[in-house]
Amino acid sequence: MNDISDVIREHYQAAIPPVKERRTRMTTTTQSSDPFSQFKAMQREVWADFALNEGFTTPPAADLVRFAGVAHGDAVLDVGCGSGVVAVTAACIGASVTGLDLTPALLERARQNASIARVEVAFTEGDAETLPYADGAFDVVLSQFGHIFAPRPDVALGEMLRVLKPGGRIAFSTWPPEHGTGQMFALLGKYMPQPPAGAATPVPPILWGDPNVVRTRLGDAVTDLRFGRGVMLSQALSPSHVLEFMETSFGPLKRLVAGLSSQPEKLTTLRGEIVRLIGQSFWDNAMHQEFLMTRATKKSS
């Protein structure tokens, strides 16, 4: 298989249609100074159908909330909250929760989920790289498969640590490059068009799944760094059923398939490769997707 960094980079540099960005953030960063504003506009579209996956991401949300040690009364931020599975889980145990995401369609579903669960959560449209919160506003900052899609890990992580109280906990779930979902991103990247020359390059999200990379990125800003593992199950009758579902619910693949509509042979090859890859982690009528959990405490000074 090709080098994962290369193929993921290709994936994230795919041609992006310009979409006017909303000004909703309390930040001094202007849109024109953000080299990734078009990339983020594309991400808003790409993830719009992800709520269809919430049946799968709900059990890992409970794993992350438990791993982070969220307690009644904690002020919690969920970054890249999507349809709110982590945020609502934390609110259900009595935390005071805020959720932030780029994608308006998912925030709409997140508000419904909070309402159905009869909990209050403050959901806000925004960017992990420019969090609209004061320094030290939260006891716990969480992200489940969310902040990894911010194009600059140092910027997103810097923001997550800034809004965390000294002594507070940061915890997130990510996809290891050596397991199925990481390999899926690498496979999709192989089929993406070449980026325009000179385009700003997002850092591949799956690097967040490598404990050594995580340790380096957190550096001496934290103490008590711990890792855990979990498995997300995606139930289906066969690997082909998983593919069929992903083509409607998993934005990066949906976008790729649309882009290959004029190349049916390439599309058939891609689908075959995906089904083979899914088959490697498919048994007992479910795809088994192993994820990494990270937890650390922000240093007090």
Residues binding ligand SAM (CB under 6 A)? 40, 43, 47, 50, 54, 57, 80-83, 85-86, 101-103, 106, 127-129, 144-146, 149-150
C-beta closer to ligand SAM: residue 37 or 297: 37
The radius of gyration computed from the CA coordinates of the chain, to the nearest angstrom, equals 18
CB-count burial class (<10 Å; 0-12, 13-18, 19+) for 286: middle
DSSP string for residues in 35-100 = TTHHHHHHHHHHTTTGGGGHHHHHHHHHHHHHHHT--TT-EEEEET-TTTHHHHHHHHTT-EEEEE
- The residues that bridge with 125 in the sheet, in sequence order, are 101
C-beta closer to ligand SAM: residue 168 or 205: 205
C-beta closer to ligand SAM: residue 91 or 102: 102
Angstrom distance (rounded) from CA 135 to CA 274: 43
Six-digit token pair at 17?
Answer: 């249609």
**Which residue number places its CB atom closest to ligand SAM?**
82
How near is the Cβ of 47 to ligand SAM at its closest, in Å?
4
How near is the Cβ of 147 to ligand SAM at its closest, in Å?
7
C-beta closer to ligand SAM: residue 18 or 264: 18
How near is the Cβ of 259 to ligand SAM at its closest, in Å?
20
- Reference 95, options 116, 120, 112; nearest CA is 120
C-beta closer to ligand SAM: residue 85 or 257: 85
How near is the Cβ of 130 to ligand SAM at its closest, in Å?
9
- H or E stretch including 218? helix 211-218
How near is the Cβ of 177 to ligand SAM at its closest, in Å?
16
- H or E stretch including 139? strand 138-144
Write the CB contacts of 204 (distance below 8 Å, at least 6 apart in sequence).
4, 5, 8, 9, 12, 185
How near is the Cβ of 202 to ligand SAM at its closest, in Å?
10
Cα-Cα-Cα-Cα dihedral sign, residues 264, 265, 271, 275: positive
C-beta closer to ligand SAM: residue 156 or 214: 156
Six-digit token pair at 265?
Answer: 């042979």
C-beta closer to ligand SAM: residue 124 or 240: 124
Angstrom distance (rounded) from CA 186 to CA 156: 22
3-state SS assignment for residue 187: helix
Angle, helices 251-259/180-191, rounded to nearest 10 degrees:
20
How near is the Cβ of 106 to ligand SAM at its closest, in Å?
5
How near is the Cβ of 234 to ligand SAM at its closest, in Å?
12
C-beta closer to ligand SAM: residue 53 or 297: 53
